[in-house]
Amino acid sequence: MEMTLRWYGSKFDTVTLEQIRQIPGVHGVITTLYDTEPGEVWSRERIRALKDEVEAAGLRIAGIESVNVHEDIKLGKSTRDQLIDNYIATLRNLGEEDIHMVCYNFMPVFDWTRTELARRRPDGSTVLAYTQKAVDDLVPEDMFASISGDMNGSVMPGWEPQRLAHVKELFEEYRGVTEEDLFANLKYFLERIMPVCNEYDINMAIHPDDPAWSVFGLPRIIVNLENIQRMMKMVDDPHNGVTFCAGSYGTNPKNDLPGMIRALKGRIHFAHVRNLKFNKFDNEGNPIDFEESAHLSSDGSFDLYEIVKALYDIGFEGPIRPDHGRMIWGEVAMPGYGLYDRALGAAYINGLWEAVEKASSSLRSSE
């Protein structure tokens, strides 16, 4: 694995490359051209400028998160062919610049959903949280207004104001779009982009839907192992793989995270490792309230040791990153994306990895 940190670019991120470089074991960043619109071609010049900036700080670009997919592609509209051509042009330019991993998602309208961005925990830290009741009570177009006050002045990925301005129309367009339609539109997209991914050895890593169930009645497909396997089989190419996001798949306690990792051997191209804490379940065992915790196993509901061990056991070699961190020590940053708690997360995951690695090599030598 290659430990990385997500970085939004010097114009948008409160965290600097110089700070990232001082986190032990972090040599790469996962970044993006944050001010591009879905459907826009990323020019080679802009990609190279970003690369130069990262490399001048002594780091490397380990992958892109994300190249966003235009809603018309997800909707299967007639405009999709041109938009996919543009996506292919972007992939080609990334490949020319020696970038080989691209994270994306296929979630309608919203990238991810939380109902609070700064829930206070007993230790005074603040975290992102989700309450089903808040989602059920909310008109989707009010979602942005309800949380935008918590964004610390940042623009959060998936919650860009220009995207949210069209929420109402988008909901109209998704009326009647089923999960089967979404699978078919994803297949169409993947079939079109795979040749360029093969040409440039670009691993496509689809990010799961977060939370891993339908919200606001929108169809959601990347939610469990069965659906991921269907996605990989329908366009069967090693470049068609996944971002294993523990915090997203883990929102559904029925998803056995270490088991999923083992089943996805060879097709996990990127890993997001984090923890969350379930607070309340309904009568059927579905979580109705959870919050993001520190990465440490004992602070949340997941066993991070087992997650890291499963990644080690499948021979995972791709980029990995700590995911949303808590806001601690007075830091003011994009919720989930401050420096301090993600640095603690990176150090903790590195520690787990070293322990797993040494334990299994001493096991081997004693055999």
Of 83 and 343, the one with the shorter C-beta distance to Mn ion is 343
What is the closest distance, in whole angstroms, from the C-beta atom of residue 356 to Mn ion in the complex? 22
CA atoms 313, 242, 337, 147: torsion sign: negative
Which range of residues in 77-85, 154-162, 183-191, 271-279 is near Mn ion by CB under 5 A? 271-279
What is the closest distance, in whole angstroms, from the C-beta atom of residue 111 to Mn ion in the complex? 10
Query: At which residue do the structure tokens 């420096």 appear?
Result: 339
Which residue intervals of 213-339 are DSSP H helices? 225-234, 246-249, 257-263, 304-313
Among residues 6, 163, 269, 272, the one that binds Mn ion under rule CB under 5 A: 272
Of 83 and 128, the one with the shorter C-beta distance to Mn ion is 128
Tokens of 159: 């919650």
Picking from 185, 219, 197, the residue whose alpha carbon sits closest to that of residue 80 is: 185
Which range of residues in 158-166, 178-186, 261-269, 270-278 is near Mn ion by CB under 5 A? 270-278
Of 115 and 251, the one with the shorter C-beta distance to Mn ion is 251
What is the closest distance, in whole angstroms, from the C-beta atom of residue 103 to Mn ion in the complex? 8
**Is residue 245 near Mn ion by the rule CB under 5 A?**
yes
| Residue 277, amino acid | K
Tell me 297's DSSP state: G
CA 263 to CA 226: how far, in whole Å? Answer: 10
Give the interface size with Mn ion as a residue count (CB under 5 A). 2
Of 80 and 220, the one with the shorter C-beta distance to Mn ion is 220
Which range of residues in 34-42, 113-121, 237-245, 303-311 is near Mn ion by CB under 5 A? 237-245
Active site members = 207, 245, 272, 323-324, 337
What is the closest distance, in whole angstroms, from the C-beta atom of residue 272 to Mn ion in the complex? 4
Scanning residues 309 to 328, which ones bind Mn ion (CB under 5 A)?
Answer: none
Tokens of 50: 């970003």
Of 245 and 352, the one with the shorter C-beta distance to Mn ion is 245
Which residue number is nearest to Mn ion in terms of Cβ? Answer: 245
Q: 251-284 burial, b for 16+ CB within 10 Å, e for fewer? A: bbeebbbbebbeebeebbbbbbbbbbbbeeeeee
Which range of residues in 181-189, 194-202, 214-222, 267-275 is near Mn ion by CB under 5 A? 267-275
CA atoms 147, 150, 152, 153: torsion sign: positive
What is the closest distance, in whole angstroms, from the C-beta atom of residue 243 to Mn ion in the complex? 6
Compute CA distances 359 → 26, 61, 262, 264, 313, whole Å. 22, 31, 19, 23, 12
Of 270 and 312, the one with the shorter C-beta distance to Mn ion is 270
Site residues (vs Mn ion, CB under 5 A): 245, 272
